[in-house]
Structure 1
Amino acid sequence: MESGRFITPTQGKETSRLPGMTTTTDVPASGVSLSERLRQDLAGLRESGLLISPRVLDAPQRARTRVDGREVVNLASNNYLGFADHPRLKERAAQYLQQWGVGAGAVRTIAGTLRIHEDFERQLADFKHTGSALVLHSGFSTNQGVLGGLLREGDLVVSDELNHASIIDGLRLTKATKKIYKHADPADLDRVLRENPSEGLKLVVTDGVFSMDGDVAPLDKLVEVARRYGAVTYVDDAHGSGVMGEAGRGTVHHFGFEYADDVIQVGTLSKAWGGVGGYAAGHPDLRELLINRARPYLFSTAQPPAVVGALAAALDEVQRDPSLMERLWDNTRFFKAELGRLGFDTLGSVTPITPVVFGEASAAFEASRRLFDLGIFAVGLGFPTVPRDLARIRNIVTAEHTRDDLEQALSAYQQVGRDLGVIA
C-alpha cells in the first residue's frame, strides 16, 4: 500500500489508517471513557447546584421580550443602550451585508481586511480619543491577545483581585511575573509595586466597571500610583464602554485619561454597542504591534460586514442622540433608589449593574425563579461566581426600559423579597 493511502475492506486486507496510526486492537482498553467522563462531570455539577441550563429567548433582545414562551421584563441582558434590535443599526447592517457580503473570507493579515474594517477602527479611535484602535473577535479573546502580545518574561503585571475571568486567563498565557492587589485599593497597589521592582514593562490591570458588584475602579488614584512607578495602566472597560463618560466613551474618558499614551483600554463591542467583538485602544503604535503579535487576531477570520456596519452605526447613534445616555442613567437612579427604599442591599453599586443580595445561592436561585413567574427575567448568581454569603440577582437597567417596566419589576421584587424574608 502507498504510504497514507486509505484502503477499503474490499480492496485489501490491511486496516485503513494514516501513517503511525494504531488500530483499536493495538491499544489495551484502560483509562476513563469519554462517556464516563461526561457522566461524572455532569453529575458533579448537578449535585453541587452549578449545572447551567440557559433560558432561551423567543424574540429579539429588548427591554421586554419573550423567554421560554413567557412575556417578561428583561433585566438580564447587557443591552445598555437598546442597540441589539435598534432600527438604525439593523439598517446599516443590511446595507453592509448587501454591499460586502456575508463574510470576510480570511484572517485580517492575509486577505480578510476589508476597507470597512479599517474605517471602523479609525472611527473607534476617534471616538475613544486614542492614538489607535484594533478590533478583535470578542472581549475575552481581546484580553488574551493584548496581554499575550504585550507582556514578556521579566515584565511585571499587577492585577485587581476581582478582575474578570478573561483577564485571569489572558495572564495565564504570559510569562510575566504576576501579582495581585486588593480590590480597588490604590494603597495596596502602591505596596505591591514597591515590593516588586522590575526592569521590564510594568502593567497595572483593572476592570473599569466590575461586572458582579457594579462598582467603578478609582482610576484617578490607580493611574497616579502606576505613574509613580513608571507603570502602564490597562483598563478592561467591557461594562464601562457605552455607559461611562461623555457619549459612552468609557471609564477612561470619565476620569480624563483618554489622550494618555500610558493607559490602554480594551473592551467588548457586544454589550452597550449591541453587536459582537472586542477592541484595544491606546498608544499610536499599539495597533501595529497587536496586528503582528495578538494571536486571536492572527488566527481568526475577520468580523462579518453586517457586524461592522451595525457597530459603526452604534457609534454614530450614541453621539447623534444624547437622550440614550440620559435615559440609561435616569432609569438607573430610579431603580436603585426604589430598591433601597424597599430595604434591599445593592452593595453600593453606582452603575446600571444593580446586584440585589439574597445571601445563600439557594435563596438567589429561588428568587430568580419566583421573579420569572411574575414576569421578570433576572438571573441568580452564586458561588463560585460570587462569594458564598453574597449570592445575588444581577439586574441591568437599560435606556430602553420604561418607567412601567421598572415599576413592574420593583413590585415583583417587593413580593418576592417579603416572601423569602429578605425585606420586611
Structure 2
Amino acid sequence: MAFGWIDQQVRVRTRRGLVRTLRPRPADSPLLDLASNDYLGLTRHPEVVEGAARAARTWGGGSTGSRLVTGTTELHAQLERELADFCGFEAALVFSSGYAANLAAVTALAPLRSLVVSDVGNHASLIDGCRLARGTSQVVEHADPDAVRKALQTHEGPGPAVFVSDTVFSVDGDAAPLAAHAEACREYGAGLVLDDAHGLGVLGDGGRGAPHAAGLAGADDVVVTVTLSKSLGSQGGAVLGPARVIDHLVNTARTFIFDTGLAPAAAGAALSALRLLRREPERAARAREVAAELHARLTAAGHEAVRPDAAVVSVRAPSPEGAVQWAADCRAAGLSVGCFRPPSVPDGISRLRLTARADLSEAQIERAVRVIGETRP
C-alpha cells in the first residue's frame, strides 16, 4: 500500500505521547485563554472587527489573485506604509502569512554560494527558509554572538552572508542579543534577518518591536519580518527593510510572486489594530507587566518558569506525557494553555506555554496561577 508507512509513524507517535489532534473551539468559549498569541487582546476589539468587516464590504472576501496580478489593493499599500513607518523602516511588503514572509526573506537574501547562519532555537519557518535557500547553512548555538562570528569566519564567498534569528524565541520567550548580533555581522559585512513575530506590539517604544528597541530599525543591513496574527490580532505577515530589499523581494520571492495576496479583511483588521496601538501604546507595557507578574507568582508557587523577556511565559513539565496531561487538566478546570513538547522544542524539554495578554485582569492572573498549581502532575 502506497501510504502504509504512515501507520508505523502513527504507532511511533502514539507510543511517545506525541499525537496531535485538532480541537475546534466555539466562538463563545468559556475557557480563560492563555494559549493564543493575542498579546494585546485585540482580536475581538470592536475597532479591529469593524476594520475587517469594512474591508470585506469594500474589497470582497478575497484578494482574487497574486499581488503582482490582481491581489494588491490600496488597503495593502496603506498597511505597508503605516507598518514601515511605525516600526522605523523604509518600506514593507505584506504576505499571506508570517511563515510565507520568513521563507521569502531568507530564500531571496541567500542566493547561490551564500552562507546562511541560523540560531538553533529559530522558528520552523526560518529553518525551512534555510533549507530552501540556495546557499550553505550553518546552525549555531543559541543566542551566542561569538558562535555567529566563528561561522561567518568560515565563509569564503563569493556570495553574501546573512545571519537569521528570532528576536524573541517562541518556546521560552527569551530575547536574542540583537545589538551584539548586529556587531558580529558588521565585522564580516553580513546581513541580519530578524523574525520579530513575538516582539512587535510588546517590545520597543509603544510596541514598535525588538529591533527598534535595540537601535537597529532602519539600518541598511537589517531586514525584519513580522506577523500580523499575534499582537495585531489578524492574519498575515510582512517583511520590513530598505526599499531596495523590498523591491528585490517583489521580483524574486516565490511566496510573494506565486501566492494569492492577503485577504482584504485580514489587511483591514491589521491596519485598524496598528492604528489602535499607536493611540494606546500602554498596551505593550501592560503585556510585559502581566508576563512579569505571571512569572513571579508561578516561581513563588514552586514552578520552574523561565523569566520572560516579552510576553511568553514558559513553565517546564516533567515529561511529554506529563505536559499533555497537565494541559488537559488545566483545560478541564477552565484554563487554556499551550503545550510544547518534542519535536517542537529544540532542547527536548516539554513545557506549558502561557500568553501574557495585556487585557488580563488581576483576578484572571490569580485564577490561572491557581489552576496551574492545582493540576500540576
Contact 1:359 1:388 in 2 (8 A): no
Question: How does the TM-score come out when normalised to structure 2?
Answer: 0.96
- Return the offset for 1:388: 6.7
| Residue aligning to 1:385 | 344
Aligned match of 1:52 in 5, 11, 20? 20
Aligned match of 1:165 in 97, 107, 124? 124
| Residue aligning to 1:238 | 197
Distance 1:351 1:318 in 2: 17
Secondary structure at the counterpart of residue 352 of structure 2? strand
Q: Deviations over 1:333-372 (max 9, x none)?
A: 2111111111211133322111111221122112112212
List gaps (5 residues or longer) in structure 1.
1-31, 61-65
- Return the offset for 1:238: 1.0
Aligned match of 2:181 in 222, 236, 250? 222
Task: Kindly indicate whether residue 282 of structure 2 is the aligned counterpart of residue 328 of structure 1.
Answer: no
Distance 1:99 1:374 in 2: 43
Letter in 2 for 1:362: E
Q: Deviations over 1:97-154 (max 9, x none)?
A: 2222222212111122211111111111111111110001111111212222222111
List gaps (5 residues or longer) in structure 2.
none
Task: Kindly indicate whether residue 370 of structure 2 is the aligned counterpart of residue 415 of structure 1.
Answer: no
Larger radius of gyration: 1
Contact 1:208 1:235 in 2 (8 A): yes
Task: Kindly indicate whether residue 216 of structure 2 is the aligned counterpart of residue 257 of structure 1.
Answer: yes
- Return the offset for 1:38: 4.3
Contact 1:360 1:388 in 2 (8 A): no
Contact 1:145 1:295 in 2 (8 A): yes
| Residue aligning to 1:130 | 89
- Return the offset for 1:37: 4.1
Aligned match of 2:153 in 186, 190, 194? 194
Task: Kindly indicate whether residue 277 of structure 2 is the aligned counterpart of residue 318 of structure 1.
Answer: yes
Provide closer, same or farther for how the CA distance between residues 388 and 230 of structure 1 changes in structure 2, counting only shifts above 3 A: closer
| Residue aligning to 1:356 | 315
Task: Kindly indicate whether residue 68 of structure 2 is the aligned counterpart of residue 105 of structure 1.
Answer: no
Of 213-222 and 40-49, deviating more is 40-49
Between the two structures, name the one with larger relative contact order (CA 8 Å, sep ≥ 6).
Answer: 2
Distance 2:343 2:263 in 1: 35
Number of equivalenced pairs = 377
Q: Deviations over 1:154-210 (max 9, x none)?
A: 111111111111111111111201112210011111122123333321101110000
- Paired-residue identity, %: 34
Question: How does the TM-score come out when normalised to structure 1?
Answer: 0.85
Aligned match of 1:176 in 135, 140, 160? 135
Q: Deviations over 1:367-405 (max 9, x none)?
A: 112212221111322222225762110111101111111
Alignment of 1:361-372 (within 5 A): 361-372=320-331
Alignment of 1:144-155 (within 5 A): 144-155=103-114
| Residue aligning to 1:25 | none
Alignment of 1:272-311 (within 5 A): 272-311=231-270
Contact 2:198 2:310 in 1 (8 A): no
Distance 2:206 2:308 in 1: 21
Provide closer, same or farther for how the CA distance between residues 43 and 178 of structure 1 changes in structure 2, counting only shifts above 3 A: same
| Residue aligning to 1:406 | 365
Contact 1:269 1:277 in 2 (8 A): yes
Q: Deviations over 1:231-287 (max 9, x none)?
A: 111101111111111121111011011021111001211111111111100112111
Q: Alpha carbon RMSD of aligned pairs, Å?
A: 1.6
Provide closer, same or farther for how the CA distance between residues 333 and 111 of structure 1 changes in structure 2, counting only shifts above 3 A: same
Of 341-350 and 159-168, deviating more is 341-350
